[in-house]
Amino acid sequence: MITRLSDVKLKDIRGVIFDLDGTLAHSNPDFAGLRRELGIHSGTDILAHINSLSEGETRNKAFEIVHEYERQSSLNASWIDGAKELIEYLQAKSLPLAILTRNMPEAAQITINKLGIDIALVLTRDDAQPKPHPEGIELICQQWQLDPADILYVGDYLFDLQTAQNAGSRCALYCPETIPDYALDADMLVACYHSFIEAWAIDD
């Protein structure tokens, strides 16, 4: 099912950008274990923490740890139910599609290759300032020659919602189980991609 929290009409959406891990693929790293290994508290922004470290061995070691967690989770990636069908549905509608992820390029490509995700435009944290900075959405919209307000960003976490808000885009928050506190700031909540496809067809 989907829950609409704003008056956004899916028929007005002219392009869709997806998060990758936890949105299209079961490929999220073990964030709790990663934070323990890095010695930081639950909820701490991992990339922001590492970037706050002084240049040198400590920072490089932290990135090595992160990279290994990301790589291993990508090697075990699997499709989220309905995500492949959603991509195919949107492609049949000739909507431009892209992926914007905070993951590193190698891990993102492993997931994409493993699952055969048919989306050519992929931006990682090496291509744009990491979410929640809006640069990734802005760069994609420039390529598409579309206004960010005409874009739907689909993600599963607070940073995804904040990225869309910062860019002036719409946001569909994928939350198949527990609905987080910040979900009320999304334009719609998606519990099931099959229902999302049905809702899109109805809006058309």
From CA 51, how far away is CA 30, in angstroms rounded? 20
Three-state DSSP at 123 gives strand
Diameter over CA atoms, the chain:
55
Single pTM value for the model: 0.86
Across the range 92-98, mean pLDDT stands at 97
Instruction: Give the rounded percent of residues in the chain with a pLDDT score beyond 90.
Output: 63
Beginning with the edge strand found earlier in the chain, give each strand of the sheet holding 170-174 in spatial order: 2-4, 188-190, 170-174, 151-155, 15-18, 97-100, 121-123
Give 14-60 pLDDT, tens digit per residue.
Answer: 999 999 999 999 987 666 777 787 777 777 777 777 777 777 767 77
When comparing pLDDT for 42 and 78, which is higher?
Answer: 78
Peptide bond into 29 cis (omega under 30): no
Angle formed by the axes of helices 158-167 and 135-144, nearest 10°: 50
Do the beta carbons of residue 86 and residue 7 sit within 8 Å?
A: no
**Lowest-confidence region among 66-80, 120-134, 152-166:** 66-80
